[in-house]
Amino acid sequence: MGARIAIAGGGPTGLMMGRLLAKDGHTVEVFEAAHEIGGLCRSMDVDGYTMDLAGGHIMFTRDQRVSDFWDELYADGEVCTHERQTRILHQPNHFVSYPFENALGELPLEHNLDCTEGTIRARLERDRIPEPDNFADWIRWKMGDGVAKHFMEPYNRKIWKADLREMNTKWIAGRVPDAPFEDVLRASLGDTTEGYTHQSVFRYPLRGGFADIHDRIAEPIRDSIRLNHRVEAIERAPDGRTWLVDGQPFDHVISTVPLQHLPKILVGMDAAAADAARRMQFRGVACYLLGIEEDLVEPYSWVYLPHDSMGPTNRITYLSNYSPENAPTGKGSILAEVTYNPDTPPSAGADGQRLVAEGLQSAGLLEADRVQVSHGVLNPVSYILYDLDFEAKRNTILDHLDGLEGFHAIGRFGRYEYHNSDQCLARAFGLHERLAPILEAGGGDDRYAVEGPPGETGR
């Protein structure tokens, strides 16, 4: 007899868990609050243009198992492969390569001098000064004043909508490109070096936008997905061992619900853990799809817009470059991302769309009166904000949750791990591997954290 397993959340993590457990013969039920599956990886059609709702998403991974799984999922070949072409818009109409430190020679001479001198000074002083634990000081300690001034500070202030002194540095490894000193010097002399090479080739579904991956993952469990069902109560059943999810009995619960929402849902949550969960900080991303004429499309995958003078957008993706199916023939598309503090959401409507288009026009990326279609979407829970007491809060919450037999917290916000969807799939493989023998044996004590392979973001 298989186990009955409730999965709260039908994003990549929940869907993958459902697929793996259903394949083992267990009865799964995936509860999804929205009217469709996919979470942050959803896509929609806007008058013939494909829009990825939570910003530009690409398929890339360092995890062989995930890569093999994607191969299997796309054995029909319905996937596009691209070389990453990313740029930073340094000034209107002046693109430089990404990462910034690998492209100093492409900057105006004065800016190159600032950055190169700062890099050298920082390198000479670094061994004398202990590594700072706040992001603002870390930037200057690691990269020097010039890179801080011309890119890192304006860009990070724009994306995080936070005081960088109030952010920690634990999340940086693998997230902020770390160019070797020699590469930076070479770059400043005009030899642009390549950085962040693990992302240099990526894939993207041919049809249906990024959501297609998760539609395919969900295919075998379609009948087990309950849409428009926001889980409101998870509690121990009277037997003290199994669980009730909105009154329905289950042996196990897998929760991808953002931790900050759990105090309202998880009955009897430990008070300290609930308090910490309420204080977890996050940021939203407003996304705007702009349908444009093909001649306005640059030959890039995505472009960073670090400066406020370029409008509210922090990054654009030329989504029509990802798949020929993403825009009607002869047309192209831009997907603009504007991060926000959830307390002060921007307009997703006409006002917000106009502001974004005008900003892109001032940056030289658009002729606003040639935008043919535009659409905006708010995604309130999109980025984890790594504030100074992040680790302490998270540990308090997870120590409690991981001690609950039969309850498993997993996912980008279900566990507050800065994971892309590939890492979410990797975590799902990992949890499944640990759960499978326990479920096979018919239950038992299963206290295990969702630890990943060494070297990944984890506790």
Pick the closer one to ligand FAD by CB: 19 or 261: 261
Among 5, 9, 89, 407, which residue interacts with ligand FAD (rule: CB under 6 A)? 9
256, 321, 323, 361: residue in contact with ligand FAD (rule CB under 6 A): 256
Name which position in 43, 314, 321, 382 contacts ligand FAD (CB under 6 A).
Answer: 382
Q: Which of 45, 189, 166 is nearest to 107 (CA)?
A: 189
User: HSE of 197 in the Cβ direction (CA atoms, 13 Å)?
Assistant: 3
Q: Which amino acid is at 271?
A: A
Q: Candidates 51-59, 115-123, 151-159, 346-354: pick the segment binding ligand FAD (CB under 6 A).
A: 51-59
How many residues line the site for ligand FAD (CB under 6 A)? 37
- Smallest distance, ligand FAD to C-beta of residue 249, A: 17
Choose between 122 and 231: whose C-beta lies nearer to ligand FAD: 231
- The nearer residue to ligand FAD, 231 or 404, going by C-beta atoms, is 231
Q: Does 62 bind ligand FAD (CB under 6 A)?
A: no
115 contributes a contact to ligand FAD by CB under 6 A:
no
Does position 12 interact with ligand FAD (CB under 6 A)? The reply is: yes
Tell me which stretch binds ligand FAD (CB under 6 A): 7-15, 269-277, 350-358, 433-441: 7-15
Q: Applying CB under 6 A, does 291 fall inside the site for ligand FAD? A: no
Among 17, 18, 19, 57, binds ligand FAD (CB under 6 A): 57
Stretch that binds ligand FAD, among 9-17, 323-331, 366-374, 386-394 (CB under 6 A): 9-17
Asked if 413 interacts with ligand FAD (CB under 6 A), we say yes
Told to check if 14 binds ligand FAD by CB under 6 A, we report yes
Q: Write out the chain in H/E/C secondary structure.
A: CCCEEEEECCCHHHHHHHHHHHHCCCEEEEECCCCCCCHHHCEEEECCEEEECCCCCCECCCCHHHHHHHHHHCCCCCEEEEECCEEEEEECCEEEECCHHHHHHHCCHHHHHHHHHHHHHHHHHHCCCCCCCCHHHHHHHHHHHHHHHHHHHHHHHHHHCCCHHHECCCCCCCCCCCCCHHHHHHHHCCCCCCCCHHHCEEEEECCCCCHHHHHHHHHHHHHHEECCCCCCCEEECCCCCCEEECCEEECEEEECCCHHHHHHHECCCCHHHHHHHHCCCEEEEEEEEEEEEHHHCCCCCEEECCCHHHCCCCEEECHHHCCHHHCCCCEEEEEEEEEECCCCCCCCCHHHHHHHHHHHHHCCCCCHHHCCEEEEEEEEEEEECCECCHHHHHHHHHHHHCCCCCEEECCCCCCCCCCCHHHHHHHHHHHHHHHHHHHHCCCCCCCCCCCCCCCCCCC
- In the numeric block, the tokens 């990886």 are attached to 41
Binding residue for ligand FAD, selected from 424, 431, 435, 439, defined by CB under 6 A: 424
34 binds ligand FAD (CB under 6 A): yes
| 41 counts as binding ligand FAD under rule CB under 6 A | yes
Could you report how far apart the first and last alpha carbons of the chain are, in Å? Answer: 34
Rounded CA gap, 376 and 350, in Å?
8
| In the complex, minimum distance from the CB of residue 182 to ligand FAD, in angstroms, rounded to a whole number | 29
Q: Which of 337, 361, 397, 408 binds ligand FAD (CB under 6 A)?
A: 337
If one asks whether residue 376 binds ligand FAD (CB under 6 A), the answer comes out as no
Q: How many Å apart are CA 344 and CA 231, to the nearest integer?
A: 26
Q: Is residue 323 within the footprint of ligand FAD (CB under 6 A)?
A: no
Q: Would you count residue 314 as binding ligand FAD (CB under 6 A)?
A: no
Pick out residues in 188-217 that bind ligand FAD (CB under 6 A).
none
Instruction: Give the binding range for ligand FAD (CB under 6 A) out of 30-38, 141-149, 321-329, 429-437.
Output: 30-38
For the CB of residue 251, give the shortest distance to ligand FAD in the complex, in Å. Answer: 19
Nearest distance from C-beta of residue 27 to ligand FAD, angstroms: 18
Choose which of 62, 157, 230, 279 interacts with ligand FAD (CB under 6 A).
Answer: 230
Q: Taking the complex as a whole, how short is the minimal distance between the CB of residue 212 and ligand FAD, in angstroms?
A: 13
Residues in touch with ligand FAD (CB under 6 A) = 8-14, 31-34, 39-41, 54-55, 57-58, 230-231, 256-257, 261, 265, 285, 337, 382-383, 411-414, 419-422, 424
